[in-house]
Amino acid sequence: MRHARRRVVRRGTQLAAVGGLLLGGAMVTTAMASETPGTSAVPFSSGSATQAGNTGAALVAKLGTARTAGSWIGADGRPVVAVTDAGAAAAVKQAGAEPKMVSHSMNELKAATATLKAAPRVAGTAWAVDYKTNRVMVEADSTVSASDWSNLSRVATGIGSFVQMQRSEGRFTPRLNGAQPILSTGGRCSAGFNVTNGTTDFILTAGHCGPANTIWFDEGQGNNQQVGTTIDTQFPGNDFSLIQYANGKAGDNADVVAIGNGQGVRITGAADPTVGEKVFRSGSTSGLHDGTVTALNATVNYPEGTVTGLIQTNVCAEPGDSGGPLFSNGIALGVTSGGSGDCTTGGVTFFQPVTRAMAALNVQLIVTKQAAGGQAATPATPAPSASANHSAIAPSAASPGSPAPVTGDDTSLVARLTDTRNIGPGLLVIGGSLIALVGTRFIRAEQDRKAYQRYYSATWG
């Protein structure tokens, strides 16, 4: 009876060890498959919307600004090019894009914006070329006085009927006060994108967030740990700045931007947006919101100064969202500058293009080595917050990008051994199972040897 129990225990141990080997192998395979790839740096990338925009931009460059008036993405995802003559329309159609006949060329539209810029500066005003309507749209917020409105209207009338004036609610202000919140003595902003010069890592954010030598702290950690120091900033004129990490490195998940609830989006490259493109913005105050690019090269006269070359959108933003990322399908597009309105009533938000900022600062975007190698990311659709602008035109099935967790850098031994994304737990299970198998084999051999000795002794005396 005792020998029978031993056999049952021995057989059960062997089966458990074999099961452990299979389980450990599966854990190692899963960990290797889900392992976060290393990071690299890229200056530029493209997605489907960007490729369509590139087609339109290439046609505009080929035909010239005297025969065209901009391009955008149509409702079907195809590039649309505004043209002023039949020959240009035929060339656009032959290239696979859709032509639209307009009355005013880009040269005329740019001349109009130059006249507006030369007029006396009025804080609280903004203008941009609306490619779709072939007009220059001039907006004035609630702070613009009746006399300033009247003077600016006379300038617009003198240019021509294609310059349209309109009032907007709220005030055009920088959104100081994003994705991840960063705090200084001057207020709260949002971290934009992680960038590098090859040796040191930085945060790219808005220039109006603070002057050079501003010290930033991580509000999200609860203990206000120092993040870094602003080493370069441009505002007004442009609106971007560079925060050098205190330890020189961005750390784990440097290619992820937060979108709320512990979730993030993996950034795979940077590009310039196209009018009509669906975009997403994240900020620590208002979370994730989406909308459409309505104009490029916009000019905004903030109370602090004038900023030019901005991306204009109908995505909402609120104070504290400044510097936060603008992206689409995992492609970095801009950092939040300012605007009017809020995420209850809607509004207009302007963004500093990241490509221009990175070129001026001589840095590149930090992305995974897989993305840098040109492998496409898996699309995903994290749900944006409810927004007054959520019903904006969506020309394609755009999404924020591939989902990724926003986690801290926990380097403790216990955390690493219990993290299923590491191969450690699987290797431990495999090692334990092998020891169990060897142990049971050794015990069986020892028992057989002793049994033989007893049998031999009993037989031969």
- Out of 218, 239, 272, 321, the active site residue is 239
Q: Which helix (DSSP H) or strand (DSSP E) does residue 32 occupy? A: helix 2-34
DSSP calls for 4-22: HHHHHHHHHHHHHHHHHHH
- Out of 322, 328, 387, 402, the active site residue is 322
- Out of 104, 141, 184, 208, the active site residue is 208
Q: List, in order, residues 6 or more apart from 213 with CB less than 8 Å away.
A: 229, 230
Check if the beta carbon of residue 165 is closer than 8 Å to that of residue 140.
yes
Q: Which helix (DSSP H) or strand (DSSP E) does residue 115 occupy? A: helix 106-118
Q: In what order do the strands lie in the sheet with 187-190?
A: 39-42, 364-368, 193-196, 201-205, 240-245, 225-234, 215-218, 181-184, 187-190
Q: Give catalytic status of residue 208 as yes or no.
A: yes
CA-to-CA dists, residue 202 to 251, 287, 410, angstroms: 11, 23, 21
Q: What's the rounded Cα separation, in Å, for the pair 47 and 271?
A: 9
- 3-state per-residue secondary structure call for 388-437: CCCCCCCCCCCCCCEEEECCCCCCCHHHHHHCCCCCHHHHHHHHHHHHHH
Instruction: Show the tokens assigned to 73.
Output: 């993405």
CA-to-CA dists, residue 116 to 125, 135, 153, 171, angstroms: 11, 13, 10, 20
How many residues appear in the chain? 461
Check if the beta carbon of residue 165 is closer than 8 Å to that of residue 135.
no
Catalytic residues: 208, 239, 322
